[in-house]
């Protein structure tokens, strides 16, 4: 609002105070004016001899003393504590002194025009009065009331004196004081309004500057504004903090290069950093890059962006991206390295291999790759839990890293597979020997939480031509070689040869055909009879799965069952065999049972007992006629789980048999802890018992211990009359299974064979069909 509308109401209090304070400034001009006034009136007195002017001089002294006292009191006043009413009171006090001074001047001038014809007296009084009125604009613009009262107090007596003098010329001249007074008033108001507007504008600019400074100071980004000469015009607090540049007020006008060199001693890595930064900033300002990320140290990474100013120069904005860069590094590390073992993952391992192979002339034409598989690792997880399994993988990774140091790059391929890259550096021995040596050294015991685990590795290796450079093809070769190793038995090392590729493809086709056969129920069943030793009773038949391939003909059970286990579909075959065997047994004489083999994977099925019970119910077969066989090796691998499953099956009335008895470890120790009804002694104990007395003694010892536990005995693989005679002589079996009595037969032949045995007895002639 404009000041001429009443400063006491419209002007902000602080501005009002500044205007009133301006009235009490310039004491020297006040003193000078008072001296001039007194001297003028004294001169007029001397010229005219009028004592009235001495009286006016005395009034000047009194008013001057009053005004000096007011100035003294105002100086002692606490301006910050003044209210608007108190400020107005001080204004009125000043106005009173000023008006009295002007009135004395006006009265002196009016009296001279009325009482004297002396031109000097009139001229001296009026000149001093007019000069004082002009000074009112410069000294009293801060108060409209002061200007108005002083102008009126000075001019009014002069007009009255001129009119009372009855001089037409003086009267006309006095009337000219009216426009003069109005002009003085207008000039003072103009000065006051101008200053007020500038004060308000300054206040707004100060507010804007303060807000701008606050915004700059609280920015999360650093900001540098440079002029065309690369000198700093504006820098915020964050920029100084990030670059450790000290007080930002000292940086204004400084060359950026100098400032950066100052920062080098505090923050940057080396003295080359400023020039590198300038180079990147130059690329930014030219639009060659959108951003520049500068790594000043491990604890400070800044990201810069720049924008050219229309008037020249540039604005740099930068932020601390250290946390983001660390997070990106962590994410990249997680993407590249296995979180458990810390080894390179599959994709990053491939990158490392490619990077090394891209180094010209560093490696020979052939390099080595090896894939290790932790044998039976799944059983560690199943028996000890995944936490123990993870700890084992960590321990394996540490040992493999130690063994590969200086020889190979090691990574974790997937699961329990570890992969190695052996670069063929000049002077290194044969790569195959080196790979075999590492494979052998990796075997051994690993201690986890106080438990020692004997760990073996199956290894597949390949020597590949670096000119090919097809990592995916190399990995396929490794997989094929590892498959061959595992097929030969755990712990083997196999080097890839081209013939394996054809066998691998053939096996893959065989897998597809087997899955189709299982899905279409193409697995058939034949039965291997079990007789009493005298050959007069057929007591049970073992169900044997058979697969007749449409092109390849019969596939051996040891081949397709192993493939089914690899594919995880052996349980499907077991269920189909169970269903067929129970249905067939239902058609046989009630005295004949049926025996079905269970795999390790079957024992891992938590619902096996309910599944078997459902199959028995659907077939209408009593549980007592079903025998289930488990191999000793599967019991060793799944002892805890097997015990629970076998107890559930036995509670249904099913007979439990241990197949291939004697081929495992500590065999007899399981007989007392597992729910076992029958043991089937492996054929290896029967072979050559006629020629080797020690084998016969071993067989008799096993039989004696087993009978002591009240467990039935079936001897497998009896093929000759001599073997049968010895077994009967020493009472080594409750039942005999072997070609000495019969080869496997179809279900429809079971009844006839049973009748023949009961009527005539089988004398033990091999090859009976």
Residue 504: inside a domain, yes or no? no
- What CATH number should be reported for the domain holding residue 375? 3.30.70.270
Per DSSP bridges, beta strands 678-681 and 655-661 are parallel
Residues 225, 200 within the same domain: no
Residues 408, 473 within the same domain: yes
Residues 491, 560 within the same domain: no
- The helix (H) or strand (E) run that includes residue 487 is helix 471-488
- pLDDT at residue 651, as a whole number: 92
The three-state DSSP-derived secondary structure of 699-758 is HHHHHHHHHHCCCEEEEECCCCHHHHHHHHHCCCCCEEECCCCCCCECHHHHHHHHHHHH
Q: Output the CA–CA distances (angstroms, integers) from residue 488 to 368, 485, 633, in the order listed.
A: 22, 5, 17
Residues 100, 143 within the same domain: yes
- pLDDT at residue 766, as a whole number: 43
Q: And the tokens for 496? A: 């890839």
Confidence label for 768 from pLDDT (cuts 50, 70 and 90): very low
Highest mean pLDDT among 64-73, 119-128, 323-332, 455-464: 455-464
- What CATH number should be reported for the domain holding residue 735? 3.20.20.450
Residue 296: inside a domain, yes or no? yes
pLDDT at 3 over 60: no
The three-state DSSP-derived secondary structure of 12-33 is CHHHHHHHHHHHCCCHHHHHHH
- pLDDT at residue 543, as a whole number: 95
Domains in the chain, number: 4
Q: Average pLDDT of the chain?
A: 81
Residue 155: inside a domain, yes or no? yes
- The helix (H) or strand (E) run that includes residue 103 is helix 84-115
Residue 232: inside a domain, yes or no? yes
- DSSP one-letter string for 499-550: HHHHHHHHHHHHHHHHHHHHHTT--EEEEEEEE-TTS--EEEEEEEEEEEET
Residue 333: inside a domain, yes or no? no
Question: Contact, 276 vs 289, CB < 8 A?
Answer: no
Of 180, 204, 228, which closes a domain? 204
Q: And the tokens for 718? A: 């009896």
Angle at 379 between CA 374 and CA 380, to 5 degrees: 75
Query: Tokens 């279900």 identify what position?
Result: 747
Residues 371, 518 within the same domain: no
Residues 642, 721 within the same domain: yes
Residues 548, 597 within the same domain: yes
Of 135, 170, 204, which closes a domain? 204
Per DSSP bridges, beta strands 457-465 and 524-531 are unpaired
Residue range 733-761: mean pLDDT, rounded: 90
- The helix (H) or strand (E) run that includes residue 217 is helix 177-218
Burial of 585 per CB tally in 10 Å (0-12, 13-18, 19+): buried
**Each residue of 346-397: pLDDT tens digit?**
888 888 888 887 776 666 778 889 999 998 787 777 667 888 888 989 999 9
Confidence label for 224 from pLDDT (cuts 50, 70 and 90): confident
Of 327, 348, 365, which closes a domain? 327
- pLDDT at residue 174, as a whole number: 67
Residue range 291-314: mean pLDDT, rounded: 78
Of 264-268, 671-675, 765-769, minimum mean pLDDT range: 765-769
Residues 98, 200 within the same domain: yes
Through-space distance between the first and last CA atoms of the chain, rounded to whole angstroms: 125
Q: And the tokens for 747? A: 């279900």
Residues 313, 440 within the same domain: no
- pLDDT at residue 263, as a whole number: 56
Question: Contact, 594 vs 584, CB < 8 A?
Answer: yes
**Each residue of 63-115: pLDDT tens digit?**
888 888 888 888 888 878 888 888 888 878 878 887 888 888 888 877 877 77
pLDDT at 262 over 80: no
- What CATH number should be reported for the domain holding residue 263? 3.30.450.20
Residue 249: inside a domain, yes or no? yes
Domain that holds residue 30: 3-204
Question: Contact, 658 vs 635, CB < 8 A?
Answer: yes
Burial of 244 per CB tally in 10 Å (0-12, 13-18, 19+): middle
Confidence label for 138 from pLDDT (cuts 50, 70 and 90): low
CA–CA distance, 699 with 695 (Å, rounded to integer): 6
CA–CA distance, 375 with 689 (Å, rounded to integer): 35
Residue 765: inside a domain, yes or no? no
3-class secondary-structure state, position 631: strand
Could you tell me which residues come within 8 angstroms of residue 235 by beta carbon, excluding any fewer than 6 positions away? 223, 224, 225, 245, 248, 251, 252
**Each residue of 599-608: pLDDT tens digit?**
888 888 778 8
CA–CA distance, 486 with 368 (Å, rounded to integer): 20
Residues 524, 673 within the same domain: yes
Question: Contact, 301 vs 293, CB < 8 A?
Answer: yes
Q: And the tokens for 654? A: 């099913």
- pLDDT at residue 466, as a whole number: 76
CA–CA distance, 232 with 263 (Å, rounded to integer): 14
Residue 502: inside a domain, yes or no? no
- pLDDT at residue 469, as a whole number: 67
Residues 382, 463 within the same domain: yes
Q: And the tokens for 711? A: 């467990």
Residues 490, 517 within the same domain: no
Residue range 229-243: mean pLDDT, rounded: 81
- pLDDT at residue 2, as a whole number: 39
**Residue 575 CB coordination number (10 Å):** 18
């Amino acid at each position: 609002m404009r000041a001429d509308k009443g400063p006491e109401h419209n002007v902000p209090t602080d501005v009002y105070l500044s205007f009133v304070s301006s009235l009490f400034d310039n004491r020297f001009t006040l003193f000078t004016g008072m001296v001039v006034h007194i001297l003028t009136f004294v001169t007029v007195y001397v010229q005219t001899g009028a004592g009235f002017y001495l009286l006016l001089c005395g009034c000047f002294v009194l008013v001057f003393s009053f005004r000096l006292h007011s100035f003294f009191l105002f100086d002692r006043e606490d301006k910050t504590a003044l209210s608007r009413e108190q400020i107005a009171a001080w204004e009125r006090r000043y106005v009173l002194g000023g008006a009295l001074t002007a009135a004395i001047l006006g009265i002196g001038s009016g009296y001279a025009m009325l009482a004297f014809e002396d031109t000097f007296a009139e001229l001296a009084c009026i000149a001093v009065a007019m000069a004082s009125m002009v000074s009112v604009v410069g000294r009293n613009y801060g108060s409209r009331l002061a200007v108005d009262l002083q102008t009126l107090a000075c001019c009014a007596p002069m007009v009255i004196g001129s009119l009372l003098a009855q001089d037409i010329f003086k009267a006309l001249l006095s009337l000219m004081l009216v426009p003069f007074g109005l002009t003085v008033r207008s000039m003072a108001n103009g000065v006051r309004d101008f200053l007020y507007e500038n004060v308000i504008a300054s206040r707004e600019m100060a507010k804007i500057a303060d807000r701008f400074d606050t915004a700059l100071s609280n920015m999360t980004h650093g900001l540098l504004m440079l002029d065309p000469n690369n000198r700093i015009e504006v820098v915020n607090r964050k920029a100084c903090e990030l670059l450790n540049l000290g007080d930002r007020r000292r940086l204004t006008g400084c060359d950026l290069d100098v400032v950066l060199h100052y920062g080098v001693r505090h923050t940057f890595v080396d003295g080359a950093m400023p020039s590198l930064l300038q180079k990147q900033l130059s690329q930014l300002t030219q639009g060659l890059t959108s951003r520049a990320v500068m790594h000043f140290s491990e604890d400070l990474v800044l990201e810069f962006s720049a924008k050219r100013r229309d008037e020249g120069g540039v604005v740099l904005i930068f932020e601390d991206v250290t946390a983001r860069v660390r997070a990106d590094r962590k994410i990249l590390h997680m993407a590249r390295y296995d979180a458990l073992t810390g080894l390179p993952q599959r994709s990053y391992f491939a990158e490392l291999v490619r990077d090394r192979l891209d180094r010209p002339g560093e490696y020979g034409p052939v390099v080595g790759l090896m894939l290790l598989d932790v044998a039976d690792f799944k059983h560690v997880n199943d028996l000890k839990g995944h936490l123990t399994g993870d700890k084992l993988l960590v321990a394996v990774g540490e040992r493999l890293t130690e063994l590969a140091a200086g020889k190979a790059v090691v990574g974790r391929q997937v699961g329990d597979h570890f992969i190695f890259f052996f670069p063929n550096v000049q002077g290194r021995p044969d790569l195959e020997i080196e790979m075999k040596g590492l494979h052998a050294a990796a075997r051994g015991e690993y201690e986890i939480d106080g438990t020692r685990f004997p760990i073996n590795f199956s290894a597949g290796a390949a020597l590949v031509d670096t000119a090919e450079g097809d990592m995916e093809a190399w990995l396929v070769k490794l997989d094929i070689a590892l498959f061959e190793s595992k097929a030969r038995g755990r712990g083997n090392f196999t080097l890839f040869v081209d013939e394996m590729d054809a066998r691998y493809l053939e096996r893959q086709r065989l897998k597809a055909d087997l899955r189709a056969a299982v899905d279409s129920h193409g697995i058939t069943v034949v039965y291997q009879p079990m007789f009493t030793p005298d050959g007069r009773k057929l007591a049970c038949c073992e169900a044997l799965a058979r697969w007749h391939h449409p092109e390849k003909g019969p596939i051996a059970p040891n081949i397709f069952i192993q493939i089914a286990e690899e594919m995880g579909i052996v349980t499907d075959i077991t269920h189909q065999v169970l269903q067929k065997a129970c249905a067939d047994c239902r058609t046989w004489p009630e005295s004949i049972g049926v025996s079905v083999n269970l795999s390790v994977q079957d024992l891992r099925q938590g619902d096996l007992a309910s599944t078997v019970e459902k199959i028995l119910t659907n077939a209408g077969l009593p549980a007592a006629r079903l025998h289930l066989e488990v191999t000793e090796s599967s019991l060793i691998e799944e002892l805890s789980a097997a015990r629970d499953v076998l107890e559930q099956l036995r509670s249904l009335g099913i007979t439990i048999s241990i197949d291939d008895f004697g081929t495992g470890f500590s065999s007899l120790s399981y007989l007392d802890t597992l729910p076992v009804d029958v043991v089937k002694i492996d054929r290896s104990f029967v072979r050559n018992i006629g020629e080797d007395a020690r084998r016969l003694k071993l067989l008799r010892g096993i039989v004696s211990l087993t009978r002591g536990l009240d467990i039935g005995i079936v001897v497998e693989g009896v093929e000759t009359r001599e073997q049968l005679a010895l077994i009967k002589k020493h009472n080594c079996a409750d039942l005999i299974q072997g070609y000495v009595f019969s080869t496997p037969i179809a279900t429809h032949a079971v009844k006839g064979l049973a009748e023949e045995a009961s009527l005539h007895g089988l004398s033990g002639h091999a090859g009976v069909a």
